[in-house]
Structure 1
Amino acid sequence: MKFGFGGYGELELPVRRNQLHDDAVALQSARAAFYLYLSSNKVRKIYIPEYLCTSLDSVFSTLNISIQKYTINSRFLPSKKIELMNDERLVIVNYFGLCDEGISKYLESYSDFSNVIIDNSQALFSPVIGGITTIYSPRKFLGIPDGGFLYSRDINDEPVEFFDSSRSSVHLLLRAAGEINKGYDEFLRAEAALENHEPRKMSKISRRIIDSIELKNVIDRRVNNFTKMHEHFSSINSLTFDLSSKTVPLCYPLKLNSSIDSIWKKLLTYDVYLPRYWEVEKSSSSYEYYDKTLFLPIDQRLDDQDVERLACLIIELINNE
């Protein structure tokens, strides 16, 4: 029997034993989850929205799967029903964790879900629908170095080797110490380490950190911050949201009537770093989401005062445009 008592110190993280997607296959990334599922099935073609990052392209290329892009409507759903052959798959993205009800309604037109994949990379707390293959990316919601969850009945052998995130956790420590700029280069290195989509089990470091997080606080704070942002911006936001649903959003998308380039750059001078989701062709019907939308943070690190300060700053910048 080994105890592991004594020796050098450690990070003193509480142990909550969170059961976050315990029934899923836990991998190092959502990209690896896609690879494991698709490599386990004979897929010839995959339908993906045109409004999506290119991180999955290498997976499709490696597996020699052809890509067919489809358009989305103002509710971020496929603009029409897509008929599928047995060797084809349809990826439906739960954008920003705000499409739960819309996806459920869209799927009512299908009698068979076996060829559908729900990409919940931006919807960590959204439930699996009716046994549909579903993929999550907890790194977008939690401060962990790696992680991806896969629900599917149709996969081959799961990996046995753990992902080694010991060199991919430095940015988390630097950010905790307030060294945000120093941590950014380490963050990029950590992201690069996940470009290899060969499946590995989620690292023990990520699992241990997840077990220390007060998930109820994560959920409550995100919902509260989203609601407060909407109170500030509902009158000028071109997007509408159903606040009665139980969704837990990734961010607050604020779509304006003109380009946000200038405001986005000015926010950098205030050390406000916003992502740009995602650069697509200007001719694309989805380009306006990239060009005219600010994706405001609502994560659990922000309290009511933070949200108020950020909202007031953005309102001032908008009024000065």
Structure 2
Amino acid sequence: MEIGSFIELQFDKGKEYYRDNNIIRLNTGRAAIWHSLRILGCDCIWIPYYQCDTVRDFLLKKGVTIKYYHIDKMFNPLDINQKSGEAVLLVNYFGVMSFDRINELALMFHNVIIDNSQSFFSKPNESCLNVYSCRKFIGVPDGAYVIGSDVNRFIEEYDKCFSSDTSLFLLQRIEYGCEGKAYKNRELNEKRLDSEDCMIMSDLTRVILDGTDYEYIIKKRIENFNYARKLFDGINCIDASMYYDETTIPMVYPFVYEDDELMLKLQKAKHFQGHWWNYICDEMNDKAFEYWLSRFMIPITIDQRYSFKDIEYIYSIVTNKEDFI
């Protein structure tokens, strides 16, 4: 025990959102998916083409056999011909899919891993393994959960992650904004995570998670998403609420608009979002739904940092109605 010397950052305690016994805390979502495969005893997995390439690359590095499936405009999985010993990864895209919707899909397969990386607050499905990413919802340098039966197996094989050496960007964002040195240091943290194996969540992240006001986050995200629906639904090329219900706490508002210049326009207005998974446009036929999503989907920010006025500002840029606000 250390006593005295300088005072460190302090946070509230006892608020961590997921705390029961069927949880393992790891460093990244991709590692959490791989750990889930180990728990299931599978060395082959079906994953969607519309998925972050860091997941694919990590699993391939681990010697996992990957089979790919398409999704349609209703986000239904297609082309899955699952065999014994194979797992299926189902993604809760944008965090806008209800528990009932994901459960309906999960009943179609066996050895199911639900990727809730974009849906931190979605209730775990007790018959599946459930993966959550902390960084998409809370300001932490690493962090993921796996929730489900028997997930604590293999935990003794993993080293502890240390994140404080590359977490300066979280403090710099407060004083400098997200551009410049803060962004450069965030990239250092991303490179660290890209180079890491499956590891136990860092103590720094655990402390932050244990002191976070989750009820405030839930309230703000729901309010902001509903306000974004009011503004953008009429010009959105997809139905962002097709599986939305009162239990859903989204990551973003998925806005699809067929204008290749819009993203650059938003970035010039300092709305720092990007098209997700641009690599898909280089690897897939331009008639595929996944190509279309990767090319035109803009994730509109609706998280707890922002107000209705901020969402109105984004809408004014999209619609060329600068006098809207």
Same fold (TM over 0.5): yes
Deviates more, 1:307-316 or 1:226-235: 307-316
Q: How many angstroms apart in 1 are the aligned matches of 2:255 and 2:130? A: 27
Q: Aligned residue for 1:18?
A: 15
Relative to 1, partners in 2 of residues 1:243 and 1:47: Cα closer, same or farther, differing over 3 Å? closer
Q: How many angstroms apart in 1 are the aligned matches of 2:192 and 2:42? A: 26
Structure 2 counterparts to residues 84-233 of structure 1, below 5 A: 84-100=82-98, 101-110=100-109, 113=110, 115-153=111-149, 155=151, 156-159=153-156, 161-181=159-179, 182-233=181-232
What is the CA-CA distance between 1:37 and the residue it aligns to?
2.6
Q: SS of 1:109's equivalent? A: coil
What is the CA-CA distance between 1:282 and the residue it aligns to?
4.4
Q: SS of 1:311's equivalent? A: helix
Q: Aligned residue for 1:31?
A: 30
Matched residue type, 1:18: K
Matched residue type, 2:85: D
Q: SS of 1:238's equivalent? A: coil
Q: SS of 1:135's equivalent? A: strand
- Asked whether the 8 Å contact 2:96–2:244 carries over to 1, the reply is no
1:255 aligns with 2:251: no
What is the CA-CA distance between 1:55 and the residue it aligns to?
0.4
Relative to 1, partners in 2 of residues 1:150 and 1:197: Cα closer, same or farther, differing over 3 Å? farther
Q: Aligned residue for 1:292?
A: 296
- Asked whether the 8 Å contact 1:16–1:214 carries over to 2, the reply is no
Relative to 1, partners in 2 of residues 1:109 and 1:28: Cα closer, same or farther, differing over 3 Å? closer
Matched residue type, 1:132: C
Gaps of 5+ in 1: none
Q: Per residue, is there more helix in 1 or in 2? A: 2
- Asked whether the 8 Å contact 2:13–2:207 carries over to 1, the reply is no
What is the CA-CA distance between 1:116 and the residue it aligns to?
0.8
Q: How many angstroms apart in 2 are the aligned matches of 1:255 and 1:276? A: 10
Q: How many angstroms apart in 2 are the aligned matches of 1:8 and 1:277? A: 42
Q: How many angstroms apart in 1 are the aligned matches of 2:43 and 2:26? A: 24
Q: SS of 1:208's equivalent? A: helix
What is the CA-CA distance between 1:243 and the residue it aligns to?
4.5
What is the CA-CA distance between 1:317 and the residue it aligns to?
7.3
What is the CA-CA distance between 1:304 and the residue it aligns to?
2.0
- Asked whether the 8 Å contact 1:117–1:132 carries over to 2, the reply is yes
Relative to 1, partners in 2 of residues 1:132 and 1:237: Cα closer, same or farther, differing over 3 Å? same
**CA RMSD for the aligned pairs?**
2.1
Gaps of 5+ in 2: none
- Asked whether the 8 Å contact 2:14–2:210 carries over to 1, the reply is yes
Matched residue type, 1:161: D
What is the CA-CA distance between 1:39 and the residue it aligns to?
3.7
State percent identity of aligned pairs: 28
- Asked whether the 8 Å contact 2:139–2:170 carries over to 1, the reply is yes
Q: Aligned residue for 1:58?
A: 57
Q: Aligned residue for 1:47?
A: 46
Matched residue type, 2:133: S
What is the CA-CA distance between 1:8 and the residue it aligns to?
1.2
Deviates more, 1:58-67 or 1:170-179: 58-67
